[in-house]
Amino acid sequence: MALTLKSGFSFDYDNLFGEGKVTQADLDSYAEDLKKAHEAMKVMRESGFIKAHLSKDGTPEKVYFSKLPYITEENGKLNLNSPASIQKLHDFTEHLRNNIDVVVSLGIGGSFLGNKVLFDVFAGEFWNTLTPEQRNGLPKVYFSGQNIDSRRTGDILNHIKAIAARTEGNKLKVCLICISKSGGTLDTMSNFMVMYDDLTKQENIEVEVVAVTDPNMEKKTLLKQLAIDKGWPQFAVPDGVGGRFSIFCEVGLVTAAVIGMDIEKFLEGARDMDEACKNENVFENPAMLNAALKFAAYQKYGRNIEVMMPYCDYLKSTSEWYIQLLAESLGKQFDKEGKEVCYGRTPLVAVGTTDMHSQTQQHQEGSLDKVVQFIKVAKWANDLTIPNAFPEYKKLADISGVKMSEALEVARQSNADALQSNKRFNACFTLPELNEYHLGELLYMLAMSVAYEGELSNVDAFNQPGVEAYKRIMGPKLSELRKSKGL
C-alpha cells in the first residue's frame, strides 16, 4: 500500500498498516480527532491561529510556516517569502560569485540544521575541494556556532588563515553569516565574536558580515542593532516561524543562495506538497496519513521511537534536522489544557546501509518500541555500476554487474522485509530524484505532519518551553562565572 502523488513522491506504508499493525479500526477510532486536526490546519493556513499557542513570553503568537512555500507580495508584509525577498537572495548569490572566497555560516538549532541539509544535498562533502570554476565562482562554505567548542572554532580559524597565507597578491575575502533570531544566542554569538575579532586582525583577510535576525525595528535585537551600527546587510528571521521550520524562509534560503541552489524549485515542491495536504481524505493526504499512523502506533502499540533512516549518505543531515523537528514540536510535558501528559515520540538518526551494521540488530530483535522510517531515492544522478574487477574471486564476481543504487535498494528492501517478519513496524518515503523539488516535498510534508500530530495529541507543536528552562538557569550561571573571574 502506498500513497503516490502526481510528482512521483510516494509514502509506502504497507509494513505499518494492516493486520498485525496499525489497523483501519485504529484509524476509525481517531476519525473525529482527524477531522478536527484537519480543520485546525485550514485555520492555521488562513489566519496563522493555533489553539492555545503562546510565544515564549506568554503572549499569543501566530504560526506562519505554512505560508512560506508561497511567494506573494502579501507575504512581504510579514517578512515571509515575497518576490522582493527572493530577488534579494538572488542578488546575494551574485554578490558572492567571484567576489567572496569563504563563507562561514554561524547558527544553532534550525539555523544550523536546516542550512546543513541544503548544503549537504546540493553541495556535498567535497564542495570546498572544488576549484572556483567548478563551484561556478561561489565560495567555500564552513559551519560554526552550533557548539561552544574551542578546539573546532580554533581549527576553522587556523584553516581560514592557512588559505589566506596561500592566496597570492590579494586579500582573502571572508563572509560571516550570523544567524540568531534573539540576536544574543550564546552558542552562535560567542563563536561569531571569536571569529570576527580574530579574522579582522589579519592583514591578509577582508571580512564582511551578514546578519540574519528578527527584523523588528521597535524592539531591536542585539544583532540587529549591531548590523545597523556597522552597516551590515540583513536577512530576516520572521515572527511566527520557529527555527525548526525556518529552512523554508531566509534563515535556510540564505545557504541556498550561497551555493546557487534553485530556491524557486525547492519552494515549488513544498507548495505542491501543501496542496496535497489540503485533502480531507486521510489516505490521500501524506502529512495527515503519516501523523495518524505514527500516532496510532505510539498510542495503541507502544512504538514511541522513530528511527529516521535515509538510504543516502547526503540525507543524513535531513535525519538530524528531523530530530529537532519531532523532538521540539511534540516532546511536551503538558497538553493545551495544562494537564500533565509527558507526550512525545523519540527520534533517532540512522543511515542505510551504514547502520544496518550497527543499529539493525536492535531494530530487529530489541524492544518493540520503534517505527523505522526509510527514505529512498528512486533515480540517482550518477549511478555507478559495480565492476567485475576480480573475476577469479567468485564472491566478488557475484555482486558485480549491478548498479550501486540497485544493490542499495536490495539492502533496504531486505531490511524492511526482515523487520516486518518480526512484527517491526516500518515505512518508506520515496523521492523520484534527489533534487530541490522533491526535497521541498519531503521536508514540508514532515513539517506538516508534526502540526497534525500536535493536534491529535493535543499538545502545542510550535512552542519549546523545555528549551527555555535551561536558558533561564544558564544566564545567572554565566553571570556568576564572569564575577568569579573579576569581569
What is the end-to-end Cα distance of the chain in Å, rounded? Answer: 64
Q: Is the separation of the CB atoms in 81 and 70 below 8 Å?
A: yes
Cell numbers standing for residue 229:
551600527
Q: CB within 8 A of 248, min separation 6: which ones?
A: 65, 68, 69, 81, 241, 267, 270, 440, 443, 444, 447
Q: Is the separation of the CB atoms in 49 and 228 below 8 Å?
A: no
Residue 41 CA, chain-centre distance (Å), reads: 21
- Rounded alpha-carbon distances, angstroms, from residue 358 to 75, 213, 363, 451, 482: 46, 40, 10, 32, 44
Question: What's the CA gap between 101 and 164, in Å, rounded?
Answer: 10
| Residue 328: active-site member | yes
Length of the chain: 487
| Residue 56: active-site member | no
Nearest to 209 by CA among 179, 235, 251, 176: 176
Question: What's the CA gap between 361 and 115, in Å, rounded?
Answer: 32
Q: Among 250, 306, 328, 436, which one carries the catalytic annotation?
A: 328
The DSSP secondary structure of 395-445, one letter per residue, reads HHHTT-SSBHHHHHHHHHHHHHHHHHHTT-EEEEEEEEESSHHHHHHHHHH
Q: Among 56, 90, 423, 471, which one carries the catalytic annotation?
A: 471
- Hey, how many other C-beta atoms are within 10 angstroms of the C-beta on 254? 24
Q: Among 6, 77, 357, 395, which one carries the catalytic annotation?
A: 357
| Residue 336: active-site member | no
Cell numbers standing for residue 407:
544493490
The DSSP secondary structure of 352-371, one letter per residue, reads TTGGGGTTHHHHHHS-S-EE
Cell numbers standing for residue 420:
516486518
- Hey, how many other C-beta atoms are within 10 angstroms of the C-beta on 202? 17
The HSE-up count of residue 127 (CA atoms within 13 Å, CB side) is 24
Dihedral over Cα of 465, 467, 468, 470: its sign: positive
Peptide bond into 353 cis (omega under 30): yes
Active site (catalytic) residues: 328, 357, 471
